[in-house]
Amino acid sequence: MSHQESDVRELALAVFATSGRLIGTGNELVAHLGLTSAWWQVLGALRYSPVPLPTASIARNMGLTRQAVQRVVDLLAERGLVEFQDNPHHRRAKLIVLTDAGIAAVTGAEQAVAPLDEEIADRVGRARIRDAVQTLEAMNAILADWLDRAVPPSLPDPNAQKETLS
Q: What would the pLDDT profile of 90-123 be if each residue is shown by its tens digit?
A: 878 899 999 999 999 999 999 999 999 999 999 9
AA identity, residue 2: S
Q: What is the pLDDT of residue 102?
A: 97
Paired with 53 in beta bridges are: 96
Q: What is the pLDDT of residue 4?
A: 77
The strand ranges marked E within 27-131 are: 53-54, 82-85, 95-98
User: Which architecture does CATH list for 3-147?
Assistant: Orthogonal Bundle (1.10)
163 has a pLDDT exceeding 80? no
Sheet holding 53-54, edge to edge: 53-54, 95-98, 82-85
**CA–CA distance, 79 with 66 (Å, rounded to integer):** 20
Crossing angle of helices 100-124 and 37-47, rounded to 10°: 100
Per-domain residue ranges for the chain?
3-147
**CA–CA distance, 11 with 84 (Å, rounded to integer):** 38
Instruction: Name the residue among 81, 71, 77 with its Cα closest to residue 44.
Output: 81
